[in-house]
Amino acid sequence: MNATRTALKSGDDVEPEVRIRRLHRRDLNRTWEFLKQVFREVNRTTVEYQRPRSKKRFLEVYEEKGIEQLLFVVSGSGKEQIVGYAECALAILGTDNWMNERYFRMRDMRPLFVEELAVHPDFQGRGLGSFVLDQLEHLARLRGCTHLVLEVAENNNHALKFYRTRSFYKLDAAVFLAKKVVNDAELLPPRPLSKRGATAVVEPVAPVVLPTDDPQAATQTTSKARPSTKAPRPKRTSAAGTRKAKTDTKP
């Protein structure tokens, strides 16, 4: 890949120029420190702790085939500074990734998976992020891919807004749920069990409906459950349910 350059938008008299090059072995330690700095800034506002992979895994990835690791650098006063990093692959990497490749095959999608994308905090909002995505989309076209796929924390509003302006849409997500716990005794009171063979009565829980921006999923129709016209049967009280529970604390 030939080095590519672009000028950043800046109010300075001389606008810094960004050059793209591939990651070399001599860059590994410096790039790792750059990633830690970027993720430290992200973690100031997100509930989910975002972090790059371990340094050991980062070094292993460099030795693997089929992975693109790109640096975005600026030069000044004879010194090169890393301002952006992108890592992508045609297949899902590692064993700690919970993304399901079957999901994409069933939808005739051939993604380029963006494993890492980092922009220096001092260079955000100056066109560098768009330059990084332009390069990744260019690679995707050259590799015959149909989509770019990446992961972002759902409450990272700054990043979400940026990706939506670039026509990214939501596929699926893990949602963090919270429930306020009321203070009470540490041990719950005795509770009678249902009679052997009887079905325990479980209170119905309303399903959580997650919104999706996937245009393909939006076209799918979902069947609605028909309301039952049968009168509810009276509940049977088992013998075990009517018997007073023992208060002995021994098992």
Which residue would you say has higher pLDDT here, 207 or 135? 135
Q: Is residue 49 part of a domain?
A: yes
**Higher per-residue pLDDT: 211 or 150:** 150
What average pLDDT does the segment 41-65 reach? 70
- Asked whether residue 222 is assigned to any structural domain, the reply reads no
Determine, yes or no, domain membership for 195: no
Number of structural domains (the chain) is 1
Residue listed under structure tokens 């975005």: 72
Q: What is the mean pLDDT of residues 37-41?
A: 79
**Radius of gyration of the chain measured on its C-alpha atoms:** 27
The encoded tokens of residue 45 equal: 């506002």
Instruction: Tell me if residue 61 falls in helix, strand or coil.
Output: helix
Percent of the chain topping pLDDT 90: 33
Q: What is the mean predicted confidence (pLDDT) over 175-189? A: 73
- Write down the residue that tokens 């030795």 correspond to: 63
Give the pLDDT confidence score for residue 202 in this predicted structure: 55
Average pLDDT over residues 70-94: 89
**Whole-number pLDDT of residue 39:** 81
Note the pLDDT tens digit of each residue in 219-250. 444 444 455 555 555 555 444 444 444 444 44
Domain assignment of residue 144, given as a range: 16-165
174 falls in which pLDDT band (50, 70, 90)? low
Residue 181 forms part of a structural domain:
no
In a domain? residue 9: no
| Range of 165-174, 184-193, 215-224 with top mean pLDDT | 165-174
pLDDT of res. 246: 47
Q: Please give the residue that has the higher pLDDT: either 20 or 178.
A: 20
Percent above pLDDT 70 for the chain = 63
**pLDDT of amino acid 191:** 72
Q: What is the distance between the alpha carbons of residues 58 and 31, in angstroms, rounded to a whole number? A: 10
DSSP 94-141: SSS----HHHHHTTT--EEEEEEEEE-GGGTTTTHHHHHHHHHHHHHH
Neighbours of 228 (CB within 10 A): 7
Strand partners, 84: 72, 119
Does residue 202 sit within a domain? no
Residue 8, C-beta contacts closer than 8 angstroms, at least 6 positions apart = 15, 16, 17, 18, 74, 123, 126, 127, 128
Please give the C-alpha separations between residue 154 and each of 56, 75, 111, 163, in angstroms, as whole numbers: 27, 34, 21, 12
Q: What mean pLDDT do residues 148-153 have? A: 87
In a domain, 226, yes or no: no
Query: What is the pLDDT, as a whole number, of residue 47?
Result: 44
* Mean pLDDT along residues 193-203: 69
Average pLDDT, the chain: 75
| Residue recorded with tokens 């292993």 | 60
Asked whether residue 21 is domain-assigned, the answer is yes
> Residue 203 has what pLDDT?
54
Confidence of residue 132 (pLDDT cuts 50, 70, 90): very high
Q: What CATH number has the domain bearing residue 133?
A: 3.40.630.30
